[in-house]
Amino acid sequence: MRRSRSRINQETVDEEDREDGQAWGDIFAITCIKTMAVFVVIAFYYLTGLY
H or E element at residue 14: helix 2-48
C-alpha closest to that of 35 among 43, 45, 47: 43
Amino acid of residue 18: R
Mind listing the pLDDT tens digit for each residue in 1-51? 555 555 565 565 566 666 777 889 999 999 999 999 999 999 999 999 886
Residue-level pLDDT at 9 = 59
How many domains does one find in the chain? 1
Task: Domain of residue 12: give its range.
Answer: 1-51
pLDDT of res. 10: 59
